Amino acid sequence: MMPQFTPLWTDWLIYALLLIIAVYIAYTRSKPHLLAPWRKVMRSPTAIASSVILLVFVTIGLLDSIHFREALPQQNNGEKTVYSAEIISLFDRMATPLRNHVEKTYSAPLAVNLFAMESVEQPDGRVARLFPRLKYAGSHLGKDIEHSTRDQWRLFIKGSLWGAVIWVLLCLVLNAALASHARIDFSQMARRLWRGDTELPWRTLLLTIGMVLWLSAIAWQIAPRYHLFGTDKVGLDVLYLALKSIRTGLIIGILTTLVMLPFALLFGIMAGYFKGWVDDVIQYIYTVLNSIPSVLLIAAAVLMLQVYMDLNKDSFNSVVERADVRLLFLCLILGVTSWTGLCRLLRAETLKLREFDYVQAAHALGASHWKIMTRHIVPNVMHIVLITITLEFSSLVLAEAVLAYVGVGVDPSMNSWGNMINSARLELAREPMVWWPLAAAFVFMFVLVLAANLFADAVRDAFDPRVQ
């Protein structure tokens, strides 16, 4: 039976965003002057490597954005199909073993026993304190459990081999394609590729893909049989939680930026450029907004949403939907609170730029305000915009943890790095320390933030008007 497709609010926004990107790409392809800087981006090895990583994250995020409800088995014939109340995503479906292998409580990465001792009644009736076996991890070994390390090495090698095989195949195909495109023979192309002597950094691309393939092949082998990153307090697989958090992180980072950017750009530049009453009005708006502690603003907004949800209980029948609306709202309100910083920066920079000779000259030549702003001012403040967005993106992913500390973050039932970090606060104080949920959150966040930063640096360089 077909599952019932049930997109969430944020899903729709993501689809819309995809559509816009697709249109932009189609449009850019036909305009060489727009395409040129992107070509330049592509030529930078760091940009290529980081975009591969970003793409992996985005893909996982997208897979996690296709939500549906599965049909329940029919009870009596001839009835309408009834769907499960639980909304899951395509990613959940793919990661079913990870999702379902829920242990009792903490277990360390790759462990086959629980992390804490428990009183267990022996068959002879005596009670012993021991580390009980996990229900799922290593269960395929049966009694042969003491060889779990050997089994893990076996899976590691098997995964590595799989990864290597796929990678080599990919290399061959790419090489063949490149060779035919450049009209040179296969081995010559291979040599060039090996030396990195190509216009686009294919070698970096292949190496990055190789790395990703290797890691995911290992994870693919080990994760269904063991808990690669251990389990959390209620026994959920930490790898699964960290992967699920990708979507939350991306949405908070991207949606919020999208909300704030138009405000900040428009208002900031207008205030600096026109000065006078326009400046006054805009300053008025952001001063009022900024004077209210953002925690209070966010808390108030989230609470208002809750009032709304309580009044319309029936439209929010599942945890996922409730959490999703809250996330969306959080993005909106974070966007509203965070545009002021960039706006002030842009205003200041514009105040300076508008007095520059070329702007004054353009003015004297009778160029329209709009034209001056878009042609002369926007390109010259782009570096500020880009670095702010990147930093903002990174800090938003983190801000969530601080918001969770105050109690107004994403829904507690939502998987997010912020929630993971926040609970790690207590886990670190445990003795012995439970470090893996924090480590997993940190690794994923670090990779994402690093890739975003490096990519943004490359983009900045490519679009710098002076370097061209």
Partner 1 sequence: MTVSFLRVSACVMLLSLVTACGKVPWNDPYPVAERGKNILYSVFNERPKHLDPARSYSSNEVIFTGQIYEPPLQYHYLKRPYTLEPLTAQAMPEVQYFNAQGQALPADAAAESIAYSDYVIQIKPGIYYQPHPAFVQDAQENYVYQHLRPEQIAALQSPTDLPLQAKRELTAEDYVFQIKRLASPRLNSPIFGLMSDYILGLKEYGELLSRESNKLKSENGAEAYLDLNRYPLQGAQALDRYRYRIRIKGKYAQFNYWLAMQFFAPVPWEVEKFYAQPGMKEKNFVLDWYPVGTGPYMLAENNPNKQMVLVKNPNYHGDRYPSSGEPGDRASGLLADAGKPLPFIDRAVYTLEKEDIPYWNKFLQGYYDASGISSDTFDQAVKIGGTGEAALTPDMQAKGIQLKTTVATSISYIGFNMQDAVVGGLSERARKLRQAISIAIDSEEMISIFRNGRGIAAQGPIPPGIFGYEEGEAGINHYVYDWVKGKPERKSIAQAKRLLAEAGYPGGRDATSGQPLLLNFDTSAVGPDAKSHLEWLVKQLNKIDVQLVIRSTDYNRFQDKMLKGDAQIFEWGWNADYPDPENFLFLLYGPNKKVGLNGENAANYDNPEFNRLFEQMKNMDNSPARQQVITQMLEIARRDAPWVWGFYPKNYALYHAWYFNAKPNLMANNSLKYLRIDAKERERMRNLWNQPILWPIAVLLLALAAVLLPAALAYRRKVHAAPSARKAK
Partner 2 sequence: MIGYVLRRLLYAIPILIGVNVFIFTLFFAVNTPDNMARIHLGMKRVTPDAVAKWKHEHGYDKPLLFNAQAAGTQKFTATIFFTKSVPMFAFKFGAADDGRDIGQDIKTRMLPSLALAAPVFLLGLLLYITFALTLAFFRATYVDYVGVVLCVAMMSISGLFYIIGGQFLISKLLHLVPISGYQYGTDAFKFLVLPVVIGVIGGLGSSSRWYRTIFLEEMNRDYVRTARAKGLPERIVLFRHVLRNAMIPILTGVVVVIPTLFMGSLVSESFFGIPGLGSYTIDAIRSQDFAIVHAMVFLGSVLYIVGLLLTDISYTWVDPRVRLS
Taking the complex as a whole, the smallest distance from the CB of residue 107 to partner 2 amounts, in Å, to: 23
Indicate the burial class of 424 (C-beta count within 10 angstroms; 0-12, 13-18, 19 or more): buried
- The one of partner 2, partner 1, none whose footprint includes residue 310, by CB under 5 to 8 A per kind, is partner 1
Contact track, partner 1, 31-50, x by CB under 8 A: --------------------
Nearer to partner 1, 427 or 464 (CB): 427
88 binds, among partner 1, partner 2, none (CB under 5 to 8 A by kind): none
* Contact set for partner 1, span 123-162 (CB under 8 A): 125, 127-129
197 binds, among partner 1, partner 2, none (CB under 5 to 8 A by kind): none
What's the rounded Cα separation, in Å, for the pair 92 and 90?
5
Q: Which does 85 bind (CB under 5 to 8 A by kind): partner 2, partner 1, none?
A: partner 1
Determine, following the binding rule CB under 8 A, whether residue 120 of this chain makes contact with partner 1.
no
Closest separation in Å from C-beta 15 to partner 1: 26
| Among the listed residues 137, 328, 423, 440, the single contact to partner 1 using CB under 8 A | 423
* CB nearer partner 1, residue 100 or residue 187: 100
Q: Which does 133 bind (CB under 5 to 8 A by kind): partner 1, partner 2, none?
A: none
Q: Does 391 bind partner 2 (CB under 8 A)?
A: yes
User: In the range 231-250, which residues lie near partner 2 by CB under 8 A?
Assistant: none
Question: Considering only residues 268-327, where is the footprint of partner 2 by CB under 8 A?
Answer: 275-276, 280, 283-284, 287-288, 290-293, 295-297, 299-300, 303-304, 307
Residue 79 interacting partner from partner 1, partner 2, none (CB closer than 5 to 8 Å by kind): partner 1
SS (H, E, C) the chain: CCCEECCCHHHHHHHHHHHHHHHHHHHHHCCHHHHHHHHHHHHCHHHHHHHHHHHHHHHHHHHCCCEEEEECCCCCCCCCCCEEEEEEEHHHHHCHHHHHCCCCCCECCCCCECCCCEEEECCCCCEEEECCECCCCCHHHCCCHHHHHHHHHHHHHHHHHHHHHHHHHHHHHHHHHHHHHHCCCHHHHHHHHHHCCCCCCHHHHHHHHHHHHHHHHHHHHHCCCCCCCCECCCCCEHHHHHHHHHHHHHHHHHHHHHHHHHHHHHHHHHHHHHCHHHHHHHHHHHHHHHHCCHHHHHHHHHHHHHHHHHHCHHHCCCHHHHHHHHHHHHHHHHHHHHHHHHHHHHHHHHHHHCCCHHHHHHHHCCCCHHHHHHHHHHHHHHHHHHHHHHHHHHHHHHHHHHHHHHCCCCCCCCCCHHHHHHHHHHHCCCCCCCCHHHHHHHHHHHHHHHHHHHHHHHHHHHHCCCCC
Query: Residue 348: which of partner 2, partner 1, none does it interact with, CB under 5 to 8 A by kind?
Result: partner 2
Nearer to partner 2, 159 or 409 (CB): 409
CB closer to partner 2 out of 244 and 344: 344
157 vs 467 by CB, closer to partner 2 = 467
Query: Phi then psi for 258, rounded to 5 degrees?
Result: -65, -35
With left for phi above 0 and alpha for psi between -120 and 50, is residue 125 left, alpha or beta?
left
Do 2 and 61 contact (CB within 8 A), yes or no? no
Of 230, 215, 240, 95, nearest in space to 159 by CA:
215
Among residues 56, 399, 404, 440, the one that binds partner 1 under rule CB under 8 A: 404
Shortest Å distance, C-beta 301 to partner 2: 8
Site string for partner 1, 278-307 (x = CB under 8 A): ---------------------x---x--xx
The interface region with partner 2, picked from 72-80, 105-113, 250-258, 437-445 by CB under 8 A, is 437-445
Positions touching partner 1 (CB under 8 A) are 72, 74-76, 79, 82, 84-86, 102, 104-105, 116-119, 125, 127-129, 232-234, 236, 299, 303, 306-307, 309-310, 317-319, 322, 404, 407, 411-413, 419, 422-427, 429-432
Positions touching partner 2 (CB under 8 A) are 275-276, 280, 283-284, 287-288, 290-293, 295-297, 299-300, 303-304, 307, 341, 344-345, 348-349, 351-352, 355-356, 383-384, 386-388, 390-391, 394-395, 398, 401-402, 405-407, 421-422, 424-425, 428-429, 438, 442, 445-446, 449-450, 453-454, 457, 460, 464, 466-467
